[in-house]
Amino acid sequence: MRLIESLATTEPLADLFSDESVLEAMLGFEVGLARAQGRLGVIPQAAAQAIHAAARPEAFVSRELAREMLRAGTPGIPLVKALTERVRALDPAAAGFVHWGATSQDLTDTALALLLKRAQPLLAADHSRLDVALRRLADQHRDTVMLGRTLLQPAPPITFGLKAAGWMAAIRRGWARLTEVFTDVLIVQFGGSSGTLAALGEQGIDVGRALAEELGLGYPDAPWHTQRDRLAALVSACGIQTGSLGKMARDIALLTQGEVGEAAEPGGAGRGGSSTMPHKRNPIACAVTLAAAYRVPGLVASFLSAMVQEHERAVGGVQAELPTVAAVVQATGLAVASMAEAAETLAVDGARMRANIAATHGTIFAERAMMILGATLGRDVAHKILVEAAEKSIAEQRRLADVLGEMPEVSRHLAKDALRDLDSPEAYLGVAEAFRRRLISSTE
């Protein structure tokens, strides 16, 4: 992992999109093509074997290839040239069959598909960790009452279990989307110069199917050189998922504020500290997830703008895509891995949550009081009374129920003990538990 990417990816994903791994995927295409064509008799078997033997990643110098790729404007030309030279050294007759009937974009698009095929299980593993941890939090805290917060202000209570179930359901839906679009993008690209495979005559589809079989990829109805909708769907799904993860991270980060103190990420050596403030316990998993959520929307927009590609092969569109897709997938992977760590180790302070409810002196139950009074006085009159009572409660730091009990317009219509349990959070949760269960069951 490069230092500049240390806050932008995970180590497994950094390895996956490293020079060595990308080179391996590109050479994998060439080997797969040669083996497929050799099996079908399109090229000699001996040529296929020589190409396979020459295509060892360690025999290529990535830095030199990168320099030549920039000059060529495509990864394919320099790689094919270098591979051809290595094949020629082993078997001069076989050198002419390297990259037979293919075009540069066939190589780069299929290599990307191979990389994405390897990325999917990495993302799936961390999504599984996160799902298990969120389900545990949702169940464990089904009865843990806390402030609801609307427009960042105190509101009637909810449960932390409901909040965790909301995160879990959104992230489950996002992973279901990603799983579906991953299936669509894990396909071979093989169309030749203009997408007709004319160089292979009538054998084009047979070779394409054999190539897909060699590489363990799907075979599309036709080449997709300038039809980028499948990749766009993947990138967009990553954007949605990273947004959902970012929402979870934002909520947790706000709960960890010192003035709130309702949750905390794990601390420990090298985690969450400050270079100047020893007391700090910073929400690092939230920080890197939010950073990913900030970056990804722009990357998604960049990819979508590059979809407008010309005719059968485009100028600049594909060149824009490879680093964009790599960055999006890595950011998504970092976000899900970080939130998995946060959910697995999150410290939830139920006592502090209850204390924060109490600190409102019952003003968050003004809605409940208004509904009780409204049944007798009408909503408009009840609302006016509650505005006055809430203002007095806040100003005098007294229980809203006590203030209401002293108001003649209230005591005339309600029995003395009618508001006794007004500020009991358990008594004003509505169908929070039903919603929690629905969120869990609807996405299982």
Question: Quick check: is 281 catalytic?
Answer: no
The two beta strands, 153-159 and 263-264, are: unpaired
Instruction: Indicate which residue of 6, 128, 274, 305 is catalytic.
Output: 274
Q: Tabulate helix, strand, coil % of the chain (nearest 5).
A: 70, 5, 30
Question: Quick check: is 274 catalytic?
Answer: yes
Instruction: Indicate which residue of 313, 368, 399, 436 is catalytic.
Output: 313
344 burial via Cβ count (<10 Å: 0-12, 13-18, 19+): middle
Query: DSSP letter string over 332-345?
Result: HHHHHHHHHHHHHH
Tokens of 273: 């500290």
Cα gap 261→167, rounded to integer Å: 20
Contacts of 311 (CB under 8 A, 6+ apart): 226
- For 162, the 3-state DSSP assignment is helix
CA nearest 306: which of 228, 223, 225, 191?
A: 228
Beta strands in 289-409 (DSSP E): 347-348
- For 157, the 3-state DSSP assignment is strand
Contact between 99 and 107 under an 8 Å Cβ cutoff? The reply is: yes
- The catalytic site residues sit at 274, 313
